[in-house]
Structure 1
Amino acid sequence: MFKISITSVPSRVDESDLDRSIAYFLSDIGYIPRISPSTDMNSIKNSVYFRLFKECFLIHSERYWTPEELMSYLNTSRSTLYRHLNKLKYLDILEEIKDGKVKKYRIRSGDLEKAWSWVEINIKMAIENYRNNVQHINSLIKNGKA
């Protein structure tokens, strides 16, 4: 399953604060709740979901993490960890491998830009499917199947 929120947002390339840039990005794609300029950035920066993305998957992008390592590093529960891992997996931005019986995770291809290219492919396929469905509905209407 692929799931992403697509909203029309301004480019934020003029933002010089890394944490704020990451937070806006994660909010814009629907991984974290919607933020605004008045949002308390300290609460976001200290949250499990933000630290998982930034500290584990961006800063250490080449590293594969086991769930136990992530739970220990983030000082969080298994259910909270998997809730956030699943959101990242739905975005297709996370890579999962099996090492024996143990699953390990990292940002796809160990690089955010490469991972994002997978997201774009999924978006293009979803839009194409929507277009095909619209064309099909329109052809049914034109052929008197309404």
Structure 2
Amino acid sequence: MPFEIAVVSNTPLTPLKDLDDVALMFLTQIGYIPKGYDPKTEAKSVRESVPYRLVVECFLGRMDKGWTVEQLAVKLKTTKATIYRHINKLKDMDLLDEVNVSERGAARKGYRIRYGNLSKAWNFVESNVEIAMENYRKTVDHLEKLAEQERR
């Protein structure tokens, strides 16, 4: 499974006290919400957009709950395809767990923040970034050796 996240120079957002301010800036920094994102729906702002509301209202607002794609599509008034597109971005960052959700007596596949805890889920992101950086280092060292051999 591919792992994808944007890593940018940043300062901690800890001085900010508003959940929406912190969430919007953070989700933009990590590349989940593209910089300059313009919702193509009736949403008047990014905070009203599906990707933002999916994370803040659904996954952060109810970390204990597993959500089916159908439940999310109804709550956010969008298509299942749109929900899948944004869920896949979060899965690529390794932030989501797949869980069984009981719906009308049947078990259905659902999603939630890994372990129902964003801080614990973030440990997976950090590990993936560390592995990616180690692999870049190996490639850089190898590239340096190859360039050195060419110069001889």
Per the normalisation by structure 2, the TM-score is 0.85
Counterpart residue number, 1:109: 115
Counterpart of 1:136 in structure 2 is 142
* TM-score using structure 1 length: 0.88
Tell me the secondary structure at the aligned position of residue 96 of structure 1: strand
Which AA in structure 1 matches 2:115? S
Shift of 1:90: 0.8
Q: CA deviation at 1:75?
A: 1.1
Residue identity matched to 1:89? K
- Asked if the contact 2:96/2:114 (under 8 Å) is kept, the reply is yes
User: How many angstroms apart in 2 are the aligned matches of 1:59 and 1:32?
Assistant: 18
3-state DSSP of counterpart to 2:150:
coil
Residue aligned with 1:80, SS: helix
Q: CA RMSD in A?
A: 1.9
The secondary structure found in structure 1 opposite 2:64 is: coil
Aligned length: 140
User: For 1:76-122, what per-residue CA distance to the aligned partner results, in whole angstroms no more than 9, with x for missing partners?
Assistant: 11111111101111111111235687321000111000011100000
Match of 1:97 in 2: 99
**Is the CA contact 2:66–2:100 (under 8 Å) kept in the aligned structure 1?**
no
Structure 2 counterpart of 1:28: 29
Query: Could you give the per-residue CA deviations for residues 34-80 of structure 1, whole angstroms, max 9, x where no partner exists?
Result: 26xxxxxx612211111110111111112111111111111111111
SS of 1:105's partner is: strand
AA partner of residue 10 (structure 1):
T
**Sequence identity, in percent?**
43
- Mapped to 1, the partners of 2:144 and 2:63 lie a distance apart of 45
